[in-house]
């Protein structure tokens, strides 16, 4: 999924939250999930993708990320629960993620 995107990760329901921005949600979410990059998400085990929003440009995605980072925690929780009330991990539902998994099964590397 090569498109500017703002996303929220969580350690668990109502747990630690992480707000990020990326141009490749599948790759970036995988990096968080596998702890392959040092940082906040690794230290706090923030792996579940609980919300994301696609943008037309990286500039608008960055502006939205900065705005959400300034929000109160309660507002972020409302944002998540508006579309994901059970805090499901959305990573397996990303279209490109499903395609890559299917290709890996058919064509093991």
Per CATH, the homologous superfamily of domain 2-106 is: GIY-YIG endonuclease (3.40.1440.10)
> What does the pLDDT average to over 93-109?
52
pTM of the model: 0.84
pLDDT digits (tens, 9 = 90+) for 44-90: 999 999 999 999 999 999 999 999 999 999 999 999 999 999 999 99
What is d(CA 68, CA 26) in angstroms, rounded to the nearest whole number? 21
Residues β-bridged to residue 32:
none
For residue 108, pLDDT over 60 is answered with no
Other CB atoms within 10 Å distance of the CB of residue 82: 9
pLDDT at 103: 39
User: Distance between terminal CA atoms of the chain?
Assistant: 21
């Amino acid at each position: 999924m090569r498109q500017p995107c703002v996303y929220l990760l969580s350690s668990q329901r109502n747990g630690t939250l992480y707000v990020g921005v990326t141009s490749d949600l599948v790759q970036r979410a995988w990096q968080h999930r596998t702890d392959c990059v040092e940082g906040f998400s690794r230290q706090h085990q923030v792996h579940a993708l609980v919300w994301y929003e696609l943008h037309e440009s990286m500039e608008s995605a960055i502006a939205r990320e900065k705005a959400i980072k300034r929000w109160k925690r309660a507002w972020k929780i409302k944002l998540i629960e508006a579309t994901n009330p059970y805090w499901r991990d959305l990573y397996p539902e990303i279209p490109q993620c499903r395609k890559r998994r299917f290709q890996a099964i058919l064509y093991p590397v």
